[in-house]
Structure 1
């Protein structure tokens, strides 16, 4: 039996009408050139909603009140050498204009129609975007 090692991450879902905000990764060493959402690892001693608010500020330059964001899904994901617990959070409201605050790690931020996502969306993110975010969901991915 293997010793479990879990990493935690948050994926922040910004919606505008029938569009979702995606970012194109670069210079990260993981899925560079692929589209994802605002996301990042949960720091030690950090609560899930707080981590999502921090990532939104760091990557997209916006402020989110804790009442303006909800956990909508959880994914237990397996990579080749690690296991992740990913929390997906839907943003209901934010303050400020969305801008690329990390151009060294993000080639571009762009709104895409949900029905016309690019082919190069990271597969587990694409799966999460296809879920119903009106109720909480769970998925195992990569097993």
Structure 2
């Protein structure tokens, strides 16, 4: 999807009130708190990095809405929230599709200590890092506007500044790409037990895996995710693509291409690097996988043992 964010003067007061809110939270190091939205649900911007927030409930003011969303999503209570900017999302014809009021606030708390109840991950991020991430266009536009002018201001019309993002004129189905490590030692494969609070497959066993970021190859993703999750070091020359799962999940509007790479060599022993996402690593015999194992992972491992290169799942 493409978009073209533009900072504009405040719009006239007859423009509809915001239907949702978001929180632009900054720490003393100048980093932004970003939220990786779940990619397995039919939601706005699945699999994108965005601010915490959401739609207002009926009869709810924006102040009430952002306070509720922060509490529900991450157990946060931010006392200094101030309206900062409005984000208008326009459709391809230029009509207003959605309007969100963004609040500015400060928070100094490690991301791993914030109890995330919705989505996949929280991360403190410098503005320069966002160019390498799959960003919600509105979120990226707000960060750009804040970098240019970090203080809240009211325009000549008495309203807040506005950034506008326009949806692409055309639509093509795109697939999320995931990379999975198949690490086999003495006939056993390395699997991790997902955290019981995980949104996707809680307490199920899964290979080291992750989604590739913007401008990142699948191999680079595999190397990065392996290091981040297990502490192991693998190189491109040690990785071979051994299976592809072409997946449609009934709970997600986005098709997914799951690539499984076998490693012929690696350095180190697996360690828990992300205990909020994985509770243990264990070697399991290929002929006796644990229950539950993520279904498409089980299917892929069984197909790899047969030498089958491709599996389609969920397509009608």
Q: TM-score, normalised by structure 1?
A: 0.92
Aligned residue among 20, 24, 30 for 2:193: 24
Question: Where in structure 2 are there 5+ consecutive unaligned residues?
Answer: 1-170
Match of 1:44 in 2: 214
Is the 2:204–2:293 contact (alpha carbons within 8 Å) kept by the matching residues of 1? yes
Q: What is the correspondence of 1:23-102 to structure 2 with a 5 Å cutoff?
A: 23-26=192-195, 27-80=197-250, 81=252, 82-102=254-274
Q: Number of paired residues?
A: 142
Instruction: Check if 1:117 corresponds to 2:289.
Output: yes
- Larger CA Rg, structure 1 vs 2: 2
Q: Which runs of 5+ in 1 are unaligned?
A: none
Task: After TM superposition, give the deviation of residue 28 of structure 1 in Å.
Answer: 2.7
Equivalent residues in 2 for 1:97-108, closer than 5 Å: 97-108=269-280
Structure with bigger strand share is: 1
Match of residue 126 from structure 1: 298
How far off its partner does 1:39 sit?
0.4
Question: Aligned partners of 1:28, 1:51: CA distance in 2, in Å?
Answer: 21
Q: RMSD of the alignment, in Å?
A: 1.6
Deviations 1:75-106 (A, max 9, x none): 11011222101110001111122111111100
- Cα distance between partner residues in 2 of 1:11 and 1:86: 7
